[in-house]
Amino acid sequence: MTEPNDTRNDRGIRQRRGIYLLPNLLTTTALFFGFYAIVAAMNNEFQSAAIAVLIAMVMDGLDGRVARLTNSQSDFGVQYDSIADMVSFGVAPALVMYQWALADLASLGSLWGKLGWLGAFIYAACAGLRLARFNTQFGVADKRYFQGLPSPSAAAVVAGMVWAGNRLGADGVVIGIAALVLTVLAGILMVSNVRYYSFKEIDFRYRVRFIAMVLLVLVLAVTSVHPPLVLFLVALAYMGSGPALTVVQRRRRRKR
């Protein structure tokens, strides 16, 4: 006969073998939009491609929060999230940027053409290294800061430039060179030791001052004027905040 304790153990094993639906569904949605961004870029639908990357960012931000709120975190979810991030924030932004601007560098010569696809590859490779390092430091690093530019933020910079540039009608060799510099810089910052504020300490359950709501309304009003340009500038400002924060912290240490 099977003992009751053995039956409960078997049930526990079967439950642990399953996966949580809701957070992994959100991760799959992020993966879908990352894949869609690649397909849209191949069809020269750059605005749709950039928006798809940004939607993938939103889904990526939700899956972790939902997993923590519903107490459905798992090793499977962590690994699956990294694979989805590599597609949505590593491969997709690199290919979208290449199709939009970096491929045009071939008009300057074969060397510039190689630099174009090499720049896209450097970004994708750095995103993979960034995600691998993040996984090895999971649960150990200081939650207040990210070590290196987060891959979703780097993808926001790249996708934001594509979206804003496409809306403004920017093209040509000069835009291609600027895109190459920005893409490589975003990749290097992802694998750097530059610290970025994570905003994980902000708790939205607490009350805020009335002025905070006024500022939020003003931000929404400014964003509505030209959403692609504003979002690109915000992503660019966050990318520059890491080096600035590092310089400030080093100066404080020297004074001490």
Average pLDDT over residues 204-221: 78
Domain of 210: which CATH number? 1.20.120.1760
pLDDT digits (tens, 9 = 90+) for 232-251: 999 999 999 999 988 888 88
CB-based burial of residue 230 (10 Å sphere; 0-12 exposed, 13-18 middle, 19+ buried)?
Answer: middle
Lowest average pLDDT, out of 81-90, 124-133, 170-179, 210-219, goes to 210-219
- Structural domain contains residue 13: no
Boundaries of domain holding 89: 19-255
- Structural domain contains residue 222: yes
Reported confidence tier of residue 11, pLDDT bands at 50, 70, 90: very low
- Structural domain contains residue 7: no
- Structural domain contains residue 3: no
Q: How many domains does the chain have?
A: 1
User: Virtual CA dihedral for 118, 122, 125, 128, nearest 10 degrees?
Assistant: -140
Average pLDDT over residues 104-120: 94
What is the rounded CA–CA span in Å between residue 63 and residue 59?
6
- Structural domain contains residue 2: no
Reported confidence tier of residue 216, pLDDT bands at 50, 70, 90: confident
- Structural domain contains residue 9: no
pLDDT-above-90 percentage for the chain: 56
Tell me, what's the pLDDT at 13?
A: 45
Q: Which residue has the higher pLDDT, 256 or 28?
A: 28
Site of tokens 């060179």: 177
- Structural domain contains residue 12: no
Do the beta carbons of residue 31 and residue 87 sit within 8 Å?
Answer: yes
- Structural domain contains residue 5: no
Tell me, what's the pLDDT at 56?
A: 96
pLDDT digits (tens, 9 = 90+) for 54-94: 999 999 988 878 877 788 778 888 889 999 999 999 999 99
